[in-house]
Structure 1
Amino acid sequence: MSITATSSSASVVNDSPYTGSAANSDTSNEDEFTEIETLVIGAGPTGLGAATRLHQLGRSFIIADSAEAPGGLASTDITPQGFYFDVGGHVIFSHYAYFDDALHRALPNEEDWSTHQRVSYVRSAGNWVPYPYQNNVSQLPLDLRVKCVDGLLAAAEHRAQTAGQKPKNFDEWIVRNMGEGIADLFMRPYNFKVWGTPTYKMQCKWLGERVAAPNVRTVVKNALTMQTAGNWGPNATFKFPMKDGTGGIWTAVADKLPNERFRLGKSGEVRLVDGASKVVEFGDGRKVKYNNLVSTMALDGLLDLLDGGANEKVSVDRMKVAAKEGLVYSTTIVLGIGIRGQRPDRIGDKCWLYFPEDNAPFYRATIFSNYSPYNCPQADIKLPTLQKADPSLDYEKEPKEGPYWSLMLEVCQSSEKPVDLDTLMEETIRGAIATELMLPADEIVSLYERRFDHGYPTPSLGRDGALAQILPPLRDEFNIRSRGRFGSWKYECGNQDHSFMLGVEAVDNALFGTPEMTLHETDWVNGRRNIERRLL
């Protein structure tokens, strides 16, 4: 599998709920040594994008993954009680016609999808501040509102006086665009909770459409009138699969590919990449000789497995040093809570919520049951209560019917932000009570926890320099295109649509020399509707 993922709780009944055709792929009759034009490592969105394009073009390929089912970091788990949880906060919005074609082919019916208007807030000073925070400080208490507006005005004055200067890091970008008030109340603490890295150690080239720079006049006007700003950003409207969570999308995409092209489980676990000979050895001892290799493994993990041969040993060693010095990542821990009862009015139609303050360990919470009624067991299912949200309260132990709703929460772990895994679930539930996501008497009927070693590829100050020393030599010396969320290590092109198209474009680059616009010109791609390629 392209990403290391460890289940840290016995609450996961099935890490790979996939039962499609590729799950039953049988390579037992293959020769020990296979030659193929293109080998794709990883069956997440990027690998499936590459495989989809290769199949469309009628080219020979194998797609391999150490997991038993496709999906990668876009898969979905099911708890023993029947609650679905994605392995992180995923929704569908798109910049590409080709991506839309692939999803429509996989899930073609209107009833396959639900469409949502984003309802998102930041929990700040005991208030729910509409997202984006910097445009809605009108909802803060007066003293904090004044602090934010004063910082915005000071930042605007400073920009006017230093028009030719550019920020050197993310922290300077924040202060220059938003001021010290918003920086201290939201941007600094929230981003540390997400990345596990201080903002002054991060670059700002990655921001693009991901962070809204506030309009000072609008913010001041709203602060005086107590109004809120409208929705912003590419995911203001988004889609979500009606059944099987995000992972269901990718198993459906995989089912449109030939079963015999898949190697999953041990037969897809990479042991060695012999770059000199262009041979990959897998966990079952079989070897595949390739002409082109599209790898979606984490870049640091790929380099650990890469043997460049005697002539290229210095080059590989140089890439490993660059990765160690310049590539930073954080670990993501996903926690899920299944709750008996009607969804409370205070939760309403909220989608996902941000938590910058230290009264909760999670940086984001998703009301996962709001995305689809099938993300929870149906109301007539009887489940026992595991505990009340406040574990000191008594509860009935007999199984009872629903209805049910659910929370999915995300926690970052890094060398600069340690996490006590033994107490994390307990702290998470306490944080949910402290932030009014839950009440002490709420009946918890399901608990889920899973840790992903590589969760976020950090846009660190040294990232671009490291990638410049790694990605081109991999391509030019070994014909390896390392792509995907951690394959190309660019968070700014790590959404599901980006990731899928990184695979598509890597194939076209390998076969035809076509430029990879998503990888190299992400802002350009995000600013338009990309219709150059079509699948249907």
Structure 2
Amino acid sequence: MGADINVDVLVIGMGPTGLGAAKRLNHINGPSWLIVDSAEKAGGLAGTDTTDEGFLYDVGGHVIFSHYKYFDDCLDEALPKEDDWFTHQRISYVRYKGLWVPYPFQNNISMLPKEDQVKCIDGLIDAALTARVANTKPKDFDEWILRMTGEGIADIFMRPYNYKVWAVPTTKMQCQWLGERVAAPDIKTVTKNVILNKVAGNWGPNATFRFPARDGTGGIWTAVAATIPEEKKRFNKSGEVTKVDAKAKTVTLADGTTIGYGNLINTMAVDHLVEKMGDQELIKLSKGLFYSSTHVIGVGIRGERPERIGDKCWLYFPEDNCPFYRATIFSNYSPYNQPQKDVKLPTLYNADGSKASSSEAKEGPYWSIMLEVSQSSMKPVDEENLLKDCIQGLINTEMLKPEDEIVSTYHRKFDHGYPTPSLEREGVLKELLPKLQDMGIYSRGRFGSWRYEVGNQDHSFMLGVEAVDAIVQGAVELTLNYPDFVNTRQNTERRLAQSFTYDTKELPSHSRKASKAN
């Protein structure tokens, strides 16, 4: 019995990866295709929620910075007007012992108390001496930290912060994923800055970033989805996958529709995919992948943005006086991320939990904070009291004052929050992804291919684009297979051009021949 619908390429999921695949398929205008999603709108883990009061919150901290021209062009096509975007200079700090230490912490130990400066410098010197005689690669993330920063910075910041982020100890993580994610300190520069009491400048690819003026990060992806023909998209039950039959090459949707495909680009979590396939061997294999859940907490406050908050973007919290590892001043990204000043809202309660002085709805202005808390089997969370604990954490870190008026709260848990680069991860992926691909299934995306180092929005989008080119043209999937290469190239016209050609002189030597398939 044949399927109800037959296509050359079926795409599961309308997050950045699925939409990247759909955009490329639409540009090629060759194979027949369809994209499906169980949600009512596009965005996936790059979506945005809006509270009843009108406060917007992303699914965690997302900003737009890019390694690819193709990605930039697709976003500019979806949101082409100058007033569609705000451009920001990153202003980020680490909260430590009541101080705001400029990011990255390891480059700015000149801001620490003297006794901590001594610990950090001692550790950096020891690390530099050890590096001279080391003849093996670090066996895990913890050893990488020690080799790069020494015991002082490791104990003060790197170990506690990364545990709060990943919800696993650094000894249980590999270090191949790091690339441009973590700044390696230069001992000479750090020492000079300590002596001269100087602060290091901005570092990293997101020192300047874009953010959409309206509708949050999710607004980007609904706009991108709007550029895709309506007849190619299916949402809700008519887009929810309940079964994948890899042998018959069919997918069954929640409304009973069956779709036959030639190749499948999957962007749902790969552990969920193999469950829907019912393949016991792959299910067992996928159990070796570890992930953490993410709680996103939002707090809307009445009043002018305090001077202590200023123009801060996102902030890091390694200490245990708050449950969150990162706070984003979400109202600083766009004036439309919260209700306008003339909107009248009642005060729910004061930050210290005390009753508001009046139940009457009053005007703003308003500002907002978005918090992220990780959870795993190795790092449990009191979910029932998490919102209250986070607000107390905001008071403990002087982000809020006890008398601040809270007018809106938000709490949502995302079961699959971070794909952990565990020690076992690479062994699983090197077996799992090729087995799926042999079945005509390209599993890609933040959790589809489980590689955090290429899990930003631009990476995720291009994982979809490159999967299509691999299917249609036999092209090399650079982002999936060479993350260091795509992360270290300069952001220039030599990156992925709109014609999607590569400068083969810059490719890793063993991939040059395959690249000619473009």
Alignment partner of 1:341 out of 286, 303, 327: 303
Partner of 2:478: 517
Partner of 1:400: 362
SS of the residue aligned with 2:383? coil
Q: Does residue 95 of the first structure (1) align with residue 67 of the second (2)? A: yes
Alignment partner of 2:257 out of 278, 286, 309: 286
Cα contact 2:356–2:405 (8 A) shared by 1: no
Q: Does residue 185 of the first structure (1) align with residue 156 of the second (2)? A: yes
Instruction: Spell out the pairing of 1:390-469 with structure 2 (5 A cutoff).
Output: 390-392=352-354, 394-469=356-431
Cα contact 2:68–2:495 (8 A) shared by 1: yes
- TM-superposed deviation, 1:319: 2.3
CA distance in structure 2 between the aligned counterparts of 1:235 and 1:497, rounded to whole angstroms: 12
Q: Specify the code of the residue in structure 1 equivalent to 2:70.
A: Y
Partner of 1:157: 129
CA distance in structure 2 between the aligned counterparts of 1:306 and 1:470, rounded to whole angstroms: 13
Q: Specify the code of the residue in structure 1 equivalent to 2:465.
A: V
Q: Tell me, which stretches of 5 or more residues in structure 1 are unaligned? A: 1-30, 308-315
Partner of 1:24: none
Alignment partner of 1:370 out of 322, 332, 354: 332
CA distance in structure 2 between the aligned counterparts of 1:372 and 1:531, rounded to whole angstroms: 29
Q: Does residue 176 of the first structure (1) align with residue 147 of the second (2)? A: yes
- After superposition, what is the alpha-carbon deviation per residue over 1:313-344, rounded to whole angstroms, capped at 9, x for unaligned? xxx433222211x2000000000000000000
Cα contact 1:369–1:406 (8 A) shared by 2: yes
Cα contact 2:67–2:495 (8 A) shared by 1: no
Partner of 2:285: 322
SS of the residue aligned with 1:171? helix
- TM-superposed deviation, 1:146: 1.0
Cα RMSD over matched residues? 1.2
CA distance in structure 2 between the aligned counterparts of 1:471 and 1:331, rounded to whole angstroms: 23
CA distance in structure 2 between the aligned counterparts of 1:527 and 1:333, rounded to whole angstroms: 31
Partner of 2:460: 499
CA distance in structure 1 between the aligned counterparts of 2:365 and 2:42, rounded to whole angstroms: 31
Instruction: Spell out the pairing of 1:68-217 with structure 2 (5 A cutoff).
Output: 68-162=40-134, 164-217=135-188
Percent same amino acid among aligned pairs?
62
Q: Specify the code of the residue in structure 1 equivalent to 2:495.
A: I
Partner of 1:259: 230
Q: Specify the code of the residue in structure 1 equivalent to 2:450.
A: W
Q: Does residue 227 of the first structure (1) align with residue 190 of the second (2)? A: no
CA distance in structure 1 between the aligned counterparts of 2:147 and 2:11, rounded to whole angstroms: 43
CA distance in structure 2 between the aligned counterparts of 1:63 and 1:394, rounded to whole angstroms: 48
SS of the residue aligned with 1:47? helix
CA distance in structure 1 between the aligned counterparts of 2:354 and 2:340, rounded to whole angstroms: 28
CA distance in structure 2 between the aligned counterparts of 1:372 and 1:65, rounded to whole angstroms: 28
CA distance in structure 2 between the aligned counterparts of 1:174 and 1:281, rounded to whole angstroms: 46
Partner of 2:32: 60
CA distance in structure 1 between the aligned counterparts of 2:204 and 2:348, rounded to whole angstroms: 39
Partner of 1:490: 451
CA distance in structure 2 between the aligned counterparts of 1:90 and 1:487, rounded to whole angstroms: 19
- TM-superposed deviation, 1:395: 2.2
- After superposition, what is the alpha-carbon deviation per residue over 1:348-370, rounded to whole angstroms, capped at 9, x for unaligned? 00000000000000000000000
- After superposition, what is the alpha-carbon deviation per residue over 1:194-247, rounded to whole angstroms, capped at 9, x for unaligned? 010100000000000000100001111111221110000000000000000000
Structure 1: 4+ residue segments shifted above 6 A: none
Partner of 1:531: 495
TM value normalised by structure 2: 0.94
Cα contact 2:347–2:356 (8 A) shared by 1: no
Q: Specify the code of the residue in structure 1 equivalent to 2:375.
A: Q
- TM-superposed deviation, 1:305: 0.7
Q: Specify the code of the residue in structure 1 equivalent to 2:460.
A: S
- After superposition, what is the alpha-carbon deviation per residue over 1:239-262, rounded to whole angstroms, capped at 9, x for unaligned? 000000000000000000000111
- TM-superposed deviation, 1:532: 3.8
Instruction: Count residues in correspondence.
Output: 495
Cα contact 1:56–1:535 (8 A) shared by 2: no
Partner of 2:513: none
Q: Specify the code of the residue in structure 1 equivalent to 2:213.
A: M
